[in-house]
Amino acid sequence: MRGSPTFLATFVSLVCALGARATEWNVIQQQGRNYVSFENVAEFYRFPAYSHANRTISLRGDRHGLRAQAGTSEMYINGVRFFTHFPLLERADEHLISAVDIGKIVEPVLRPSRIANARKVETVVLDPGHGGTDQGTANAWGSEKAFALDVAMTAREQLLQTGFKVEMTRKDDTGLSLEERVAFANRFQNAVFISIHFNSASGGAGVESYALAPEGIVSTASPGEHHAPADDSQPDQGNVQDLQNIALTAAVHASVLSRLTPYDRGVRHARFKVLRNIHLPAVLLEAGFLSDPVEGRRIATAHYRQQLGMAIAQGVQSYNAAVNYRAQNDTFAVVRKNLPPHSASITAPLHSEEPVVAAAPEEPSVSIHGGE
């Protein structure tokens, strides 16, 4: 399935639909699937500088850049880490990226204004993970369910101030099934869905964000409480907006990195239950590890949670501005709030402020606690 002509047709149709010049792509067959060279990528997206050395590829422009290494499954776009759907390859003196990754990651991130059918966001559905008897993970200072709700309430306040309507799957310590969360979100139109969680794993630290895996793409997430077995070769309902999903996920992820400067665990793809059957552009954010002694203590501070909520709200604004901006040329497009449009990708922040670093000495908040 992964090497079928369907992917090439999808890639070409995406490029054609976005007004690109499909005849300029030189498609190369490798390992049963379609690839293009990074040199071809640099030419198509008009990166003025392209170089490669020791398997490391660099594409650079005035306000945008892409860096990758052959033999891996990750790349950096404007400094933000993305996990590719298929490995990056090296052939003779050429470095290759799959056509699927161009169509499903690079294109919507670099040129969000060209995403077909992307709608202006009117409503944001916030989904604080867990609740009720399900506390999620926890540490000495509190539980995931309480921290996620606190972050969501800050995001709600910020979003309301900027003119969005906001709906929440829960506003208190109520337990909801994953199916109930999806059914609630699907009631709204012109909306986006953001599910807020925290992680736990031995030795783990940092922030990772998930978009629904496209049809035929294997999930990069381990099975967990919000994951369900699925046939990776079959589309889910949420795959209708694959491009919106990755653009929203990238915008929120980049905003969190900019404001809070955590370790970047990357933009990933998975088939979590809350993403599979959602009718809205959606992202699941794992906003740090409660199990890490340093990061867990930081999450337990009111300052960190406030900044995280603000970053989520800013990410929504960035996504909404970018996908709804219509440029008169082929440059990378996003809108800086209250300023003229400038050349950047979906990962660019909306403001020129320096990233906010949490104050280390702040004590954990006593208003958030573990248990039931």
Residue 360 lies in a domain: no
Q: Which residues contact 182 (CB under 8 A, 6 or more apart)?
A: 273, 274, 277, 278
> Any idea what the Cα angle at residue 128 is, between residues 225 and 213, rounded to 5°?
55
Residue 85 lies in a domain: yes
Which range of residues forms the domain containing residue 92?
5-110
Can you give the pTM of this predicted structure? 0.84
Residue 302 lies in a domain: yes
Q: Give me the tens of pLDDT residue by residue for the chain, a chain 372 residues long.
A: 344 444 444 444 444 443 444 437 899 999 999 999 999 999 999 999 999 988 899 999 987 899 999 999 999 999 999 999 999 999 988 999 999 999 999 999 999 999 998 999 999 999 999 999 999 999 999 999 999 999 999 999 999 999 999 999 999 999 999 999 999 999 999 999 999 999 999 999 999 999 999 998 988 775 454 555 556 667 899 999 999 999 999 999 999 999 999 999 999 999 999 999 999 999 999 999 999 999 999 999 999 999 999 999 999 999 999 999 864 333 322 322 222 232 344 454 433 333 333 333 344 433 332 233
Nearest Cα neighbor of 116 from 279, 323, 346 is: 323
Question: Do 253 and 336 lie in a common domain?
Answer: yes
Evaluated on CA atoms 119, 116, 185, 126, the torsion sign reads: negative
pLDDT at 335: 28
Question: Do 235 and 296 lie in a common domain?
Answer: yes
Q: How far is CA 10 from CA 17, 101, 134, in A?
A: 10, 11, 40
Residue 372 lies in a domain: no
Question: Do 139 and 95 lie in a common domain?
Answer: no
Q: Which residues contact 83 (CB under 8 A, 6 or more apart)?
A: 73, 74, 220, 266, 267, 268, 269
pLDDT at 233: 65
Instruction: Give the number of domains in the chain.
Output: 2
Residue 54 lies in a domain: yes
Residue 35 lies in a domain: yes
Q: Residue 369 is which amino acid?
A: H
Burial label, 357 (beta-carbon count in 10 A; 0-12, 13-18, 19+): exposed
Domain boundary among 80, 110, 140: 110
Rounded Cα gap, residues 247 and 251, in angstroms:
6
Residue 91 lies in a domain: yes
Residue 290 sits in a domain of what CATH number?
3.40.630.40
